[in-house]
Each structure stands twice: as C-alpha cells, then as structure tokens.
Amino acid sequence: MLLDPLHPAIVHFPIVLAVLLPVAAVAGLVAVKRGAATRAAWAPVLAVAALLAVSSWVAVQTGEAEEEAVERVVPESAIHEHEERAEIFLPLTFVGLVVVGAGLMPGRAGVGARWGSLAVAVAITAAGVRVGHSGGELVYVHGAADAYVDGGSAVRSGQDRGEEDEARERDDVDGRGEANQ
C-alpha cells in the first residue's frame, strides 16, 4: 500500500539530493585532482544527479496528483508559487544531469564540465531551497495537511489559525476549554 498522501513522503528525496550534489561534485573534483580515475571518481556524482532528476520528476508528478485536494484548504496563490518554483527546479535538475554526465568526457571538455557541474549543483541547491521553503509554507503557514485530516473537515485558513492561536493565548484556556483563573 502506498502512502496517502504520497507527495510529502517523496519531496524529501530531491531536497536531500540537491544538498548532496555539490558535496559530491567537490568530492569528485578533489578525487580527480588527486589522481583518481575520472570515471571512478565522477560516477558517484553522476549517480546523485540521476537520482535527483528522477526523484524531482516523481515529486512533481505526485504534487500535481494531490493538488486538487490541497486546493480546498490552501490559497491558489500559494500553490501557484510552489508550482512555479518546482517548474524551475525540475528542468534544472535535468540540465544538471546532462552537465554532470559530460564530466565523464576526456580532456578539457570533461574538466570544464566537471567544474560546470559544481556551478549547476549550487544553482540546483538554491532552487531546491526555494521550492522546499514554499512547500513548507503550504503545510505550516497555509495548513495544506488539513486537506488530509478528518477527511478535510479541518479546513481553516492561515488567518483563521492565527486568530485562534491569538485567542487561546489571550484567554489562557486549559485543556478542558475553561479559562484559568
């Protein structure tokens, strides 16, 4: 049985891999500089880039599949912002895969591609942070998870939640709904 919703379980893979890609690229560059065979040193970088591209594609697909449910509780503008950021991140991961793959070429072209891989990896990390942040806002600011709680009956806007939190603090309500004296 698959997790429901699947998107929150999947999205962590591309975010982690986006952070690991520049680390892998630096490690690969250092290994090649120290005399390791290019293919052996660069293959792990290519593997991270491939996993990143595939997991990003899966994250986008699962996000699109679950968009309708979340639209009931989250403002369209917040969803649109997250989608826009994902639409930058996803193609960038495939560009990264191509550039990293070119790092296996011999000669100056391979050297240039390996250094270019580091630059693209940093850009991917920055884009991943942006898409991850907007996804976190969907959950923690706009209450996207409410779409899956109690069959979606816990639908409240971020403003409603903020107002309720402020009211609780003002009233200093205990667990039984009675004000503390």
pLDDT tens for each residue of 134-150: 999 999 999 888 888 86
* Confidence (pLDDT) at 163: 55
Cα dihedral 38, 41, 47, 48 sign: negative
Phi/psi of residue 43, each to 5°?
Answer: -60, -40
Work out the pLDDT band at 154, boundaries 50, 70, 90. very low
- Report the C-alpha gap between 75 and 81 in whole angstroms: 10
Q: Which of 117, 13, 113 is nearest to 56 (CA)?
A: 13
The reported pLDDT for the residue numbered 94 is 98
Joined tokens for residue 63: 């996000």
Q: Rounded to whole angstroms, how far apart are CA atoms 86 and 179?
A: 45
pTM score of the predicted model: 0.79
Percent of the chain beyond pLDDT 70?
81
Rounded to 5 degrees, what angle do the CA atoms 99, 103, 106 make?
140
Per-residue confidence band for 48, with pLDDT thresholds at 50, 70 and 90: very high
- Per-residue confidence at 123, pLDDT binned at 50, 70, 90? very high
